[in-house]
Structure 1
């Protein structure tokens, strides 16, 4: 005999449920932002929750929940969570500088070891230590006020006009090649900006950061995901920073100071020219290294070349060897790609 299952009409629910990995479920009106479920399930948690997986999809905490979902918090100890932390802290920095120095633009140049970003400014000379302290204090005030970071969707054309009016020609150039008709921008204390990726719902979760003068710019120190609860002291790496600056000079020579400029070069069919110039600059640097080695009058017996997989170590070694041969030296390249030590 077939088993009978009673089915009766009911009034549609006006609520949704969020079910967490530990089996707990929370209910709220349909459309409630995800962050309120997270706050109910994990009040005052450390590390701070920056986003959440909603049915296996990463979502911002401002996402409205419109159906029953499985939710897994993504905190700052994860890669995704720490990226959101860093982007949001950069936004706080930009807002603090805008409020204190309205005519200054912050340029985020590159990341630094031990967590953070090297930044430079346009519109004036480098900030003094007292001015940097004032900017950091304003950042902490913004964070402690738990100001909302609001997301809105506007047309790409409107975004281009917005950034051009603010003097951000690099962002205007970048969006000029965007094919989608609209784009998400974020607003904090009246400042509107574009970031490539999700953001925190508000500034209250940004509890650890510091600024440090580092001519010709400054460093925004931020925690790393392995130790969210502390800021590692900045360790100077002058050789690495010198390489970054040299790289910046090369990009300036090539006329590629931002992604929008690179898109323009591709559009104009100049990529082969750029590749040839890049190769020439690289070869010139290898010649300089060879000259420096020869100038040591035999004191250099070993040259070590390190880098991640497929970064060009072997090719670089061969090109350096050729330049040393020009000077009458006979280098021997010893590759370690096929040399392995047994784990036991």
Structure 2
């Protein structure tokens, strides 16, 4: 149950998508003066070293954030999106960065004053970095090692009562903060999906959360992998939002093929995580146009083969 450690995956393409969407959502919600409560149901360790043993072992950040910070306007050597003519790809490479992508890189730079991305902020540190003094952050982490690391990392911020770290199951406990006193909240769900049952628990949590606080904004990250539950999750979330009369936005980023291949030596090569998505209920109205500009650039810069692409599905 506790084998998953996000440190191995910090800064990968899925983190880029998740945190770009998170920052764009928060920037809009923080325009209103009323206090905001952010609930992170699976907070992880909060802060990661990309030059450390964990991230270095997987090397996933090299195909994610490290591509972006090395040269934000450079086109990677891999094949661009399917059917994109070379001239068009060159024009896109010269285009200014989309606002949401530029903002994401600005936040990463705030944690790496000397440049690059030696330190990668997880969702807890990104959120705290953007929140105002009267906002609140509730962090849930059940993994014993990551919970201790998160507590130690957060203690360095000396944030006082602004941040609460809870060594509890976010699936079972996070709804107790809904609705918050200000009746404004963003809930981020980013489980590992290590167990198939977690897909169902996401749906159960969302059903309870919408019952308690129908006007909250909810953001669910999910992997796109060859598993029925993974493909069923966004469809069921959309149905849930529609029945509740709420708007929704589903965005996906694919960077490579999901096919398992066989090397000349006979070795089976698995592609790792080829794609991921973010499903939002009650998203800001500003989010869709921001992503329409940013996602083509992410495909161009992070795509690893001609299967790279994105989707944006808005409803309500």
The structure whose Rg is larger is 1
**Class of the TM-score when normalised by the shorter of the 2 chains:** under 0.3
* Higher relative contact order, chain-length normalized (CA < 8 Å, sep 6+): 2
Task: Determine which structure has the larger helix proportion and give its number.
Answer: 2
Length-normalised TM-score, structure 2: 0.21
